[in-house]
Amino acid sequence: MTTIPRPEYPRPQFVRVDDQGTPIYVCLNGGWEFQIDRADSGLERAMNTTTARYEQQIQVPFCPESDLSGVGDKDFLHAVWYRRSLTIRTEWAGRETVVHFQAVDYDATVWAISEKTGGSPLEIGRHRG
């Protein structure tokens, strides 16, 4: 039986593995905290912090307009915020970690523990957390 969203790496031919052949990735599909920001005022409201209140959940990888996302909002969405906790595996300590977003629409800014680490187009920087 297939689950939605799918938990496996979407392009198996590109799976990265460690020296023992164990895949070294974390699938980010699934539930994320989500907030529609119709006034594009999220920074002023500190939506980039870990304590900000998000009122909805969204199923990634689906877009907010899709019913499969659990949001299904068909209006024009000037800005939206996604948030999810991610724990880096202890065996990855000291190694570079790459976060890949498959389908960012138009523009994105990425925050890690309230620190801007980059955004699109492809300017993701380093974060020491």
pLDDT digits (tens, 9 = 90+) for 110-126: 888 888 887 776 555 55
Residue 110 placed within a domain? yes
pLDDT in tens, the chain (129 residues): 566 777 776 677 777 787 887 777 888 889 999 999 999 999 999 999 999 999 999 999 999 999 999 999 999 999 999 999 888 788 777 877 777 777 787 788 888 888 888 777 655 555 555
Q: How much is the pTM?
A: 0.80
Say if CB 78 and CB 65 are below 8 A apart. Answer: no
Domain limits for position 99: 29-84+95-123
Residue 90 placed within a domain? no
Residue 47 placed within a domain? yes
d(CA 76, CA 36): 10
Residue 104 placed within a domain? yes
Q: Could you tell me what percentage of the chain is helix, strand and coil, using 3-state DSSP and rounding each to the nearest 5?
A: 5, 20, 70
d(CA 52, CA 42): 10
Residue 48 placed within a domain? yes
Residue 34 placed within a domain? yes
Residue 69 placed within a domain? yes
Count up the domains in the chain and report the number.
1
Residue 64 placed within a domain? yes
